[in-house]
Amino acid sequence: MTVILDGKAVSDKILLELKIAVAAALETTGKDPGLAVILVGNNAASRTYVEAKKKACHEVGIMSFEYKLSVTDGQAVLEKLIDHLNADAEVHGILLQLPLPDGFDEQAVLQRIHPDKDVDGFHPFNMGRLAIGLPALQPCTPAGIMKLLEHYQIATEGKHVVIVGRSNIVGKPIGLMLVQNNKNANATVTICHSKTPDIGAITRQADILIAAVGKPEFITADMVKPGATIIDVGINRVPAETKAGYKIVGDVHFEDVYPLVDAITPVPGGVGKMTIATLMATTLQTFRKQEGLPSA
Ligand code: GUN
């Protein structure tokens, strides 16, 4: 029987624990953790993610401050907002929803976020620390995947993990996490991307396959090894005869792959939920540090 890696159930449990921890932190400090979420432009998927993040904040007792900028506001206004939020004592975490519209210098903005408020772990300070195995604020999706594997006691030591996709948000950081020399990692990691010839020959070697490529149902049954664990990071909108006019599918062809494998994440209800729960956990982490509480 294939195990469905239930990101919703695991994240609900994490959110409940966080709610208690946030209440305790409020009791000690008299302060609420605060997360600033910045959305630039009108990308429909980004709007949905920002709403989901706000809802999770509400659920656990984190204050959310939303900043909506239009494309015409431009780089200088966005950078000024970051400076303001860096200095705001009520804001413990700053999340800039990506991707930014064309014309913005994404790296310049990310590098302007104070590393202590960098809840996405995208600042080179945090990414660098992650690379060399030091404690760091970690990107939410990869950290969420690590928690999901841990929850289901899926060992990574000595396993061949194949990652499809080399983004700074998922592919590279999950590779860095899994290759570390520690008990929750110690994997052999291969990262494939758009210039990798014959990707299937490599994905078929994977004990754990992580699909983070952003292409609907890219991973087909012939690309997986029977008995593998499949982590599907994709959240793709495809046209469908639904009320919204679309449906959400992952980067993996779920129906065809499911019967072949030992474990698989569903879309929705898999990695996406873990990303949001991890963002909440990281925001509490930044709050604790900034308010002088010991790390949990
Ligand atoms: N866009 C897609 N995934 C992410 C993420 O994890 N963080 C941010 N800020 N933007 C994203």
Amino acid at 11: S
C-beta of 50 in contact with ligand 1 (< 6 A): no
Q: Is it the case that residue 296 has pLDDT exceeding 90?
A: no
Provide the pLDDT for residue 120. Answer: 98
Are 52 and 92 in contact by the 8 Å Cβ rule? The answer is no
| Cα of 10 from ligand 1 centre, angstroms | 20
C-beta of 95 in contact with ligand 1 (< 6 A): yes
- Ligand 1 atom closest to the Cα of residue 46 is 1
Mean pLDDT for 83-100 is 98
Residue listed under structure tokens 């009108």: 42
Distances in Å between the alpha carbon of 19 and those of 11, 33, 66, 143? 12, 11, 20, 19
| Cα of 169 from ligand 1 centre, angstroms | 7
Among protein residues, the one whose CA lies closest to atom 9 of ligand 1: 97
Residue listed under structure tokens 């997360």: 35
Domains for the chain: give ranges and CATH numbers. 26-117 (3.40.50.10860), 140-273 (3.40.50.720)
- Ligand 1 atom closest to the Cα of residue 140 is 6
Q: Which residues contact 151 (CB under 8 A, 6 or more apart)?
A: 10
Distance of CA 159 to the CA centre of its chain: 22
| Cα of 27 from ligand 1 centre, angstroms | 31
Model confidence over 34-52: pLDDT tens digits?
A: 999 999 999 999 999 999 9
Residue bearing the bigger pLDDT, 296 or 48: 48
C-beta of 118 in contact with ligand 1 (< 6 A): no
Mean pLDDT for 88-101 is 98
| Cα of 122 from ligand 1 centre, angstroms | 10
Tell me the C-alpha distance between 30 and 170, whole Å. Answer: 35
Model confidence over 251-295: pLDDT tens digits?
A: 999 999 999 999 999 999 999 999 999 999 999 999 999 999 998
Model confidence over 58-74: pLDDT tens digits?
A: 999 999 999 999 999 99
C-beta of 96 in contact with ligand 1 (< 6 A): yes
Model confidence over 72-90: pLDDT tens digits?
A: 999 999 999 999 999 999 9
Among protein residues, the one whose CA lies closest to atom 1 of ligand 1: 98
Question: H-helix or E-strand containing 188?
Answer: strand 188-192
Cβ count within 10 A of residue 80: 12
Mean pLDDT for 95-112 is 98
Mean pLDDT of the residues in the chain = 98
| Cα of 43 from ligand 1 centre, angstroms | 13
Among protein residues, the one whose CA lies closest to atom 11 of ligand 1: 98
Mean pLDDT for 178-189 is 97
Among protein residues, the one whose CA lies closest to atom 8 of ligand 1: 97
Residue 211, phi then psi, degrees to nearest 5: -100, 115
Provide the pLDDT for residue 236. Answer: 97
Q: Which residues contact 1 (CB under 8 A, 6 or more apart)?
A: none
Mean pLDDT for 217-242 is 98
Are 190 and 216 in contact by the 8 Å Cβ rule? The answer is no
Three-class DSSP category at 31: coil
The residues carrying an active-site annotation are 53, 97, 120
C-beta of 167 in contact with ligand 1 (< 6 A): no
